[in-house]
Every structure is written in structure tokens, then in C-alpha cells.
Amino acid sequence: MNKLSIVITTYNKQNDVLKNLYELANADMLLHITDKIVVVDQSESGHEILVGPQSAIETDSKLRILSEKLQVVSQPNLGGSGGYSRGMYESLKSDNVGYVLLLDDDAVINSASIINTYNESVLISKSGKPTIIGGKMLPLDINKTEQAIEANLNRKIWVVQGESTDLKKVDFAGWWMCMIPREIIEKNGFAMPYFIKWDDVEYSLRAKAAGFGVRMLDDVYVRHETWEAKGNKYSWVSHYHERNKFITALIYSDYKRGRYAICFSLLAFIKSALITGPRKSAIAIRLSALQFVTDQRFSDTMNLHSYHKNLMQMSKNPPKISRLRAIFSAISVHTKLYVKWPKLREYYRDMQKSLVGIDFWTLQIK
């Protein structure tokens, strides 16, 4: 009941997954405590890399050691939240699994860090308070040692902050590397259907609200490409970031109308509109996210795959918008958000209850 399940979800990065599988195959001590390795493949193509008679898993003798533990499942692209939720679901099918480790497909893992996380998680759970444990993120360049640790929130303006001086007191554990005890998943449910961005934050906040712990360990890490290098700020990712940030704030904010978060966001929009230049498309995409929130359209995400395809189409052909129009639109939607905040908070809190359970996610993965 106390063994580990390792979950990796991927989208068109099967070769990165193989690198991590080779690392796991060479880690005898880690395999000894591991019951399952679940790979959720949401790729558009290349499934034969991981599945089938010609896959590396079947033809490479180094990977055959994983055959009894490895489970590869394919599904439509439901983002990180859908991939990890499927991984949690498959993990809990085994009565031997007591802990689920979530890993990014492109993270460079360290088997010693995983073992340390598992041992600490078992020890903490024995104390009576199951706790989510996160790992640090280090740059891919091994010559760089600075730590990119995003584990805390400014809950006035709802932005992610850096490292806490006390790693036992953090707001969330990022899903680039995160271990979750079975008991928490059974009570907390699965991820909110955010697709990407803020799903790990929301999950940790939900767990803390239920009385569970969240912390990080000093000697646990993965190496990972920075968000800046990925260019997330100026792509379709910004839609999910804006949308999910405010939905999370509506569910968990202590403020009746979220005035600090709204003012901070509006100023950021105005600043972007004035200096963005050729990247105006990001403004239109971000505005559509806030319009989504205020219009209470979360039912539109009942089919995550279709929603994402429509968003990608919009990002390829974004509506043209002038700086002046962007500013007036931003003022309008933020005002609407302020006025409707109490009603929106009630709506999203009610929606949350039906979106994190097995019934919702079973419909998604069929």
C-alpha cells in the first residue's frame, strides 16, 4: 500500500520521456519502491515511439526491465491537468500505490531526489498529516546553480512569488515534480480542468483547505527549461494563465471583491497595450480569457480538447486590436469583474465541486 507510482504526461515529447525512462531503468533502488510508471501520451503523432512492437520500450533491452511496471495510455490532448488527472486515476487502481509522483515530460529527473522525496513523504504521513511535497527547479545548464523556485503567492494581487525562507510553509508545489499521498487524492479529487497553468496552485490550495500539508524539500530538484525561455508570456498560454488565475482567486480569495488583484491586472493590461507593439495578439487573447471568466462560461470547457483547438485557431489568426481599443476593453472587462465578483465567486465555487471528481474526468478520457 505504500509503494510509489510515477506519472509522466507528454504532448509530442516522447523522446524526452524516453530519456527519463532510461534514467528510471538504471535506478535499482528507485524501482524497488515503485509499483507503477504511468505515461500519459497526449501527442498528435509518434505514438509508436512508446507503444507497439517497434517501440523503444519493446526493442531496447535497457528498457525491458520496466515492462512489468510501465503503463502507457493514449488519450486526446487534455493538457497537463488532464494528463495528470488520468495518471492519478490509473495509479489509484493499484492497491499497492500509496504515493503518486507527477513529473514534467521535459524535466531532467534525478533518481536520488525522487527517493528522498518518497522517504520524506512516508515519514511525514506517519506523523498523521499527509503532505504534498514539491521539488525545486534548477536551470538546464548544469553550470548554473541559481534556483527558480515558485512556491508562494501574493494573495492580494494573485501573482506567484519566489522562494520562501521556510520550505515547510509554502503555498503550493509545482507539478514539474510533485509527490502526492494517496489519501490526499482520494479526498481532494483530481485537477481542475484548467488545461495548463494554475492547476498545481489550485490543487495545493484545495488540499490545504482540507487540512493537508504542502511543503518543499531543500535537497530535491529537477532541471527544467525556464518559463522565460519557452516564451509563455506572449503566446496562447497567456489565455490560460489569465483565465485560471482569476478563477483560482475567485475560489480562494479572502477579499469580497478582489480589488487589489483587479487593479494590478488592469495596470498590467494598460502597460502591455502601450508597449506591446507587434505582440498585440497577446492582448486580444488575454482579454478573451477575462471575458470568459466574467461571462461564467466554464461549461465551455466540458470538452477540453475542442476548447484548446479553438483557442489555438484564434491564436493563429488573432483579432486585430488597436492600443486605444485594448485599453478601453481592459477597463470594461475589469470593471465587470469587480462588479460581478461576489456572484462569480459563488458560481466558480459551485462549479469546482463537479469538475474535480471521477465522473467529469471519465467523460473527458473516453
Q: Residues 218, 237: one domain?
A: no
Domain-terminating residue out of 227, 245, 265: 227
Q: Are residues 69 and 151 in the same domain?
A: yes
- The band of 164, judged by pLDDT with boundaries at 50, 70 and 90, is low
Contact 216, 149 (CB under 8 A): yes
pLDDT at 85 over 80: yes
**pLDDT tens for each residue of 317-343:** 877 888 889 899 999 999 999 999 999
Residues 165 and 266 in one domain: no
Q: Please indicate, yes or no, if residue 363 is contained in any of the structural domains.
A: no
Residue 124 lies in a domain: yes
Q: What is the pLDDT of residue 278?
A: 43
Residue 155 in domain? yes
- Range in 27-31, 231-235, 348-352 with the lowest mean pLDDT: 231-235
362 is a domain residue: no
Amino acid 142: pLDDT: 62
Q: Please tell me whether residues 345 and 217 are part of one structural domain.
A: no
Please state, in angstroms and rounded to a whole number, the distance separating the CA atoms of residues 301 and 281: 22
The residues, any chain, with a CB within 8 Å of residue 338's CB and separated by 6 or more, are 257, 258, 259, 262
To the nearest whole number, what is the mean pLDDT of the chain?
A: 88
Cα(98)–Cα(131) distance, integer angstroms: 12
Task: Give the pLDDT confidence score for residue 32 in this predicted structure.
Answer: 95
User: Is there a domain that residue 186 lies in?
Assistant: yes
Supply the pLDDT for residue 136.
82
In a domain, 365, yes or no: no
- For 215, the 3-state DSSP assignment is strand
How do residues 280-329 score in pLDDT, each as one tens digit?
557 888 899 999 999 988 777 778 888 999 888 888 887 788 888 989 99
Say whether both 55 and 80 belong to one domain: yes
Distance, CA of 169 to CA of 276 (rounded, Å): 37
Same domain, 179 and 52: yes
In sequence order, which residues have a C-beta less than 8 Å from that of residue 119 and are 6 or more positions away? none
Segment 146-173 shows an average pLDDT of: 77
Q: Return the pLDDT at 363.
A: 82
CA dihedral sign, ordered 243, 265, 203, 210:
negative
Question: Is pLDDT larger for residue 54 or for residue 173?
Answer: 173
**185 lies in the same domain as 286:** no
pLDDT tens-digit series, residues 220-251:
777 766 656 665 555 788 899 999 999 999 99
Q: Look up the domain containing 326 and give its range.
A: 232-355
Instruction: State how far the Cα of 342 lies from the Cα of 131, in Å rounded to an integer.
Output: 31
Residue 360, in any domain of the structure: no
Residue 63 sits in the same domain as residue 202: yes
Among the candidates 175, 193, 227, a domain finishes at 227
Map residue 132 onto helix, strand or coil: strand
Report the pLDDT value the prediction gives residue 333, as an integer from 0 to 100: 97
pLDDT at 364: 82
Instruction: Give the residue with greater pLDDT, 187 vs 152.
Output: 187
How many domains, in total, are found in the chain? 2
The pLDDT assigned to 173 comes to 93
Cross-strand partners of 108: 223
**One domain, residues 188 and 266:** no
Q: Has residue 53 got a pLDDT over 80?
A: no
